[in-house]
């Protein structure tokens, strides 16, 4: 597999400053600029200017914003490939980029060229401003160069609209059509004559409508592989006399396709991927219309799939086909490997699925919608901590949570996807706008598995302090009936999970209980202690009535519910901590026979089995449920249990990654931000696990081995760790730490070294606390 460039030390330092909010934007001197006339949707605009720099700069930083995306060249050299995040950080505002241009500028005259793609429509990830524009504010060694009337502008005449079909309404992006006969040539270079171009019209300095306040991009610019060769390219017969060239990608990737051909003028080449049509609706595609002779072209709108398909007419000679992979910029720092190849494959497919559903936002899928549905995002947030570096991996989670909160409706409802277009009363229903509540998904994020998981893994107290008042307002919308249980809240989309046999009340009360559990923690963390009593009271109401109402002696069922016993309901009772341990055998029996959860909720079923200390059953069910996806040639996981009717790369489907890393390998924070780490492995019937996780303080390196008579942990930790040895129903006769006995015949033998402490023992575990360093811990087992 190909690797992207690695992140530089300078970028890491800058990212830390940005992430902590230490880097601040100076007042804008630049004007928003554009064409004086209105611009049609899906238009491309060219901007140019010249600046003079007295000497080779030591520091040159530009603040740049547009609607919707831009590409930047300095002296003909590409400096930014697809800049600008989808709009917006709130319903009113717009993101801006901060870009270091020091290495691109030279002493003397410099040419700045910017290509802006204006979508001009809403989508389930983008709030259209309604006006094409660019603002560019550059500071070079203290001297400002700001966009204004000295800039030149024109529409790029080669870009136009394709014939139908167009992308479905959920996508703000349009198809990309480029007619090379109308190309402007090397307009990005220093010698291009732009004298016939228009002077830029001035729209005002930020903050100004319709873009309003500009907020700094919280993410790095995308990773960029450069143009690379396909794994292979095969030619086959296409439709209507066309030849189909299929370029195989190494995995499901976000790519911009490239071609080099020799052709007469006017030939049309269509480019799309195998993932173009999903659930019967079209995604994005590209059309290139040739000029005379040898020519090269890269379509700048990204698409995804396992292969790229070029439909080439007769008379066109294909000289080269390549692609550029771009994507979310964080290091793949975490890993998991065990002695079961199927589980390794599943973990890797979950990792690839997570990555393909990350870019401007978390996405449900990168093809049909590209939407930040918050239930999908909750699962993705949990996975990301085990995949990416601890600096940049969490930034998308922080952005996601902030957007959910800042898009809160005036009636205090959290809804998703957000950002999205703002609906107009009486306006069209399929225009990319959305403000409907999915209560169960909103609860999932507002509670334990969303916001609190983000805090627990990062230690980012400030974000919790910023959003807590809005979270409180949302949770206060939920009301109770006279039986001490939650009154069903359907919202505008009464959705719990895909599939059938959904026992709503059991699940809903568990989600709310988890939300109260997280709210108590948030209130205490942010010095809102008076709120704790109310949250505790609501938890007590549910706890005192939940089992009386829903537990039927052999399973959880709502009285009057007519469907089959719901596996999701059993799982949520366990993960919420409402199910009594005496119920576990009956619940496990249900989870061996009932299979109704979609991949979205299956994550919680698997977690419930681990929490009931049944890792063997969790692994058995995991492999059974995902067997087709493990065996598939596809590199990503599906929306449902079959590929038909949904996407084959869905953000909510990667729950097994979290289960394998957090429970089977046993790595999780013991204190917020991994100030201390817990190692509590549940290997089940696995014999060996190696796992790496990125912490803010460094990497956890873990190797686990078990046989019939021995359990061994090799650990390298940058923080204090609680290391627990599983008993698995057996007797542990002796524990050695770095070849010194610390436990023997049920007695603690830890000395006074200060680097290791005996932390306790119960029916399931023997635990020791160890300081930073490398540790070899072994336990002899008596059958």
437 by Cβ neighbours in 10 Å (0-12 / 13-18 / 19+) ranks as buried
3-state secondary structure of 615: helix
Tell me which residue of 535, 533, 495, 531 sits closest to 512, measured CA to CA. Answer: 535
In sequence order, the 6+-apart residues with CB closer than 8 A to the CB of 206 are 28, 30, 32, 65, 135, 213, 214
> How far, in Å, are 94, 113, 141, 549, 574 from residue 56 at the CA level?
32, 19, 10, 75, 63
3-state secondary structure of 590: helix
In sequence order, the 6+-apart residues with CB closer than 8 A to the CB of 371 are 124, 125, 170, 361, 363, 364, 416, 417, 420
- β-bridge mates for residue 338, sequence order: 689
Helix, strand, coil tally for the chain in percent (to 5): 25, 30, 45
Burial per residue of 736-773, b for 16 or more beta-carbon CB atoms within 10 angstroms, e otherwise: bbeeeebbeeeeeebeeeeebbbbebeeebbbbbbeee
> Which two structure tokens, joined as six digits, stand for 758?
């005996």
Helix or strand (DSSP H, E) at 722: strand 720-726
Compute φ and ψ for 319, nearest 5 degrees. -100, -35
DSSP string, 127-156: ---SS-EEEEEEEETTEEEE-STT-EEEE-
Kindly report the number of other CB atoms within 10 A of residue 54's CB atom: 10
> How far, in Å, are 119, 344, 368, 468 from residue 255 at the CA level?
19, 26, 16, 38
Query: Given the DSSP bridges, would you call strands 176-179 and 286-289 parallel, antiparallel or unpaired?
Result: parallel
3-state secondary structure of 34: strand
Tell me which residue of 152, 153, 159 sits closest to 182, measured CA to CA. Answer: 159
Burial per residue of 272-283, b for 16 or more beta-carbon CB atoms within 10 angstroms, e otherwise: bbbbbebeeebb
Interatomic CA distance for residues 47 and 62, integer angstroms: 15
Report yes or no: 427 and 438 within 8 Å, Cβ to Cβ: no
Helix or strand (DSSP H, E) at 511: helix 504-525
E strands in 90-190? 94-100, 108-118, 133-140, 143-146, 152-155, 159-160, 176-179
For CA atoms 410, 412, 413, 415, the dihedral sign is: positive
Per-block mean pLDDT, blocks of 10 residues, the chain (783 long): 38 39 66 97 98 97 98 98 97 98 98 98 97 98 96 98 97 98 97 97 97 98 98 92 96 98 98 96 98 98 98 97 98 98 98 98 98 98 98 98 98 97 83 94 97 98 98 98 96 96 98 98 98 98 98 98 98 98 98 98 98 98 98 97 91 98 98 98 98 97 96 98 94 93 89 85 94 96 81
503 by Cβ neighbours in 10 Å (0-12 / 13-18 / 19+) ranks as buried
Interatomic CA distance for residues 420 and 387, integer angstroms: 28
| Helices (H), ranges, 26-71 | none
> Which two structure tokens, joined as six digits, stand for 279?
């659930």
Whats the size of the chain, residue-wise?
783
Interatomic CA distance for residues 664 and 616, integer angstroms: 10
In degrees, to the nearest 5, what angle opens at C-alpha 291 toward C-alphas 287 and 294?
105
| Helices (H), ranges, 626-764 | 627-631, 655-658
Report yes or no: 217 and 199 within 8 Å, Cβ to Cβ: no
What is the per-residue pLDDT for 25? Answer: 56
Interatomic CA distance for residues 78 and 112, integer angstroms: 10
What is the per-residue pLDDT for 424? Answer: 85
Report yes or no: 60 and 139 within 8 Å, Cβ to Cβ: yes
Report yes or no: 778 and 725 within 8 Å, Cβ to Cβ: no
Compute φ and ψ for 755, nearest 5 degrees. -95, -10
């Amino acid at each position: 597999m190909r690797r992207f460039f690695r992140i530089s030390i300078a970028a890491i330092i800058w990212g830390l400053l940005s992430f902590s909010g230490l880097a601040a934007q100076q007042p804008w001197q630049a004007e928003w600029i554009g064409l004086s006339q209105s611009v049609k949707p899906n238009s491309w605009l060219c901007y140019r200017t010249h600046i003079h720099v007295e000497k080779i700069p030591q520091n040159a930083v530009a603040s740049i914003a547009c609607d919707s995306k831009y590409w930047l060249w300095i002296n003909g050299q590409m400096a930014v490939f697809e800049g600008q995040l989808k709009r917006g950080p709130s319903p009113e505002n717009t993101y801006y980029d901060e870009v270091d241009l020091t290495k691109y500028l030279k002493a003397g005259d410099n040419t700045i060229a910017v290509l802006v793609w204006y979508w001009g429509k809403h989508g389930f990830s983008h709030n259209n401003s309604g006006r094409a524009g660019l603002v560019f504010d550059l500071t070079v060694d203290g001297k400002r160069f700001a966009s204004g009337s000295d800039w030149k502008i024109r529409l790029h005449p080669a870009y136009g609209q394709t014939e139908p079909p167009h992308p479905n309404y959920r996508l703000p992006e349009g198809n990309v059509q480029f007619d090379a006969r109308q190309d402007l040539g090397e307009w990005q270079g220093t010698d291009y004559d732009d004298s016939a171009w228009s002077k830029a019209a001035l729209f005002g300095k930020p903050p100004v409508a319709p873009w309003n306040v500009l907020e700094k991009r919280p993410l790095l610019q995308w990773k960029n592989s450069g143009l690379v060769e396909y794994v292979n390219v095969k030619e086959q017969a296409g439709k209507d006399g066309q030849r189909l060239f299929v370029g195989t990608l190494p995995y499901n990737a976000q790519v911009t396709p490239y071609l080099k051909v020799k052709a007469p003028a006017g030939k049309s080449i269509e480019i799309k991927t195998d993932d173009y049509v999903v659930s019967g609706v079209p995604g994005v595609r590209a059309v290139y219309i040739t000029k005379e002779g040898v020519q090269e072209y890269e379509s700048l709108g990204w698409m995804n799939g396992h292969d790229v398909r070029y439909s080439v007419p007769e008379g066109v000679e294909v000289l080269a086909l390549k692609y550029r992979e771009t994507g979310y910029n964080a290091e793949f720092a975490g890993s998991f490997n065990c002695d079961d190849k199927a589980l390794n494959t599943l973990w890797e497919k979950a990792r690839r699925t997570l990555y393909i559903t990350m870019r401007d936002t978390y996405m449900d899928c990168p093809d049909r919608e590209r939407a930040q549905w918050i239930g999908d995002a909750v699962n993705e947030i949990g996975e990301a901590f085990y995949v990416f570096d601890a600096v940049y991996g969490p930034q998308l989670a922080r952005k996601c949570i902030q957007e959910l909160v800042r898009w809160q409706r005036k009636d205090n409802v959290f809804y998703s996807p957000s950002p999205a277009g703002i609906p107009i009363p009486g306006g069209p229903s399929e225009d990319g706008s959305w403000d409907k509540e999915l209560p169960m998904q909103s609860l999932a994020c507002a509670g334990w598995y969303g916001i609190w998981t983000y805090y627990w893994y990062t230690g980012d107290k400030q974000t919790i302090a910023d959003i807590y008042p809005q979270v409180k307002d949302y949770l206060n919308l939920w009301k109770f009936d006279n039986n001490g249980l939650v009154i069903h809240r359907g919202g505008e989309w009464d959705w719990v999970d895909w599939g059938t046999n959904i026992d709503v009340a059991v699940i809903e009360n568990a989600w709310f209980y988890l939300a109260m559990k997280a709210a108590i923690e948030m209130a205490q963390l942010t010095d809102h202690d008076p709120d704790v009593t109310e949250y505790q009271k609501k938890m007590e109401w549910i706890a005192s009535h939940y089992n009386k109402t829903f537990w039927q002696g052999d399973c959880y069922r709502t009285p009057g519910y007519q469907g089959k016993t719901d596996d999701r309901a059993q799982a949520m009772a366990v993960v919420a901590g409402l199910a009594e341990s005496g119920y576990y055998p009956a619940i496990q029996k249900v989870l061996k026979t009932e299979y109704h959860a979609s991949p979205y909720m299956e994550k919680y079923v698997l977690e419930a089995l681990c929490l009931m200390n049944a890792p063997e059953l969790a692994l058995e069910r995991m492999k059974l449920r995902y067997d087709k996806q493990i065996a598939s040639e596809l590199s990503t996981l599906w929306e449902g249990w079959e590929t038909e009717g949904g996407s084959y790369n869905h953000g909510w489907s990667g729950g097994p990654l979290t289960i394998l890393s957090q429970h089977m390998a046993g790595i999780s924070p013991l204190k917020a931000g991994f100030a201390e780490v817990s190692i509590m492995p549940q290997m089940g019937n696995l014999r060996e696990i190696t796992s790496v996780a990125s912490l803010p303080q460094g990497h956890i390196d873990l190797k686990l081995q078990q046989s019939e008579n021995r359990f061994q942990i090799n650990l390298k930790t940058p923080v204090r760790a609680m290391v627990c040895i599983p008993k698995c129903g057996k007797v542990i006769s002796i524990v050695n730490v770095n070849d010194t006995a610390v436990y023997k015949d049920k007695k603690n033998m830890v000395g006074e070294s200060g680097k290791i402490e005996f932390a306790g023992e119960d029916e399931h575990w023997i635990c020791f606390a160890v300081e930073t360093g490398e540790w070899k811990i072994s336990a002899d087992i008596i059958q």
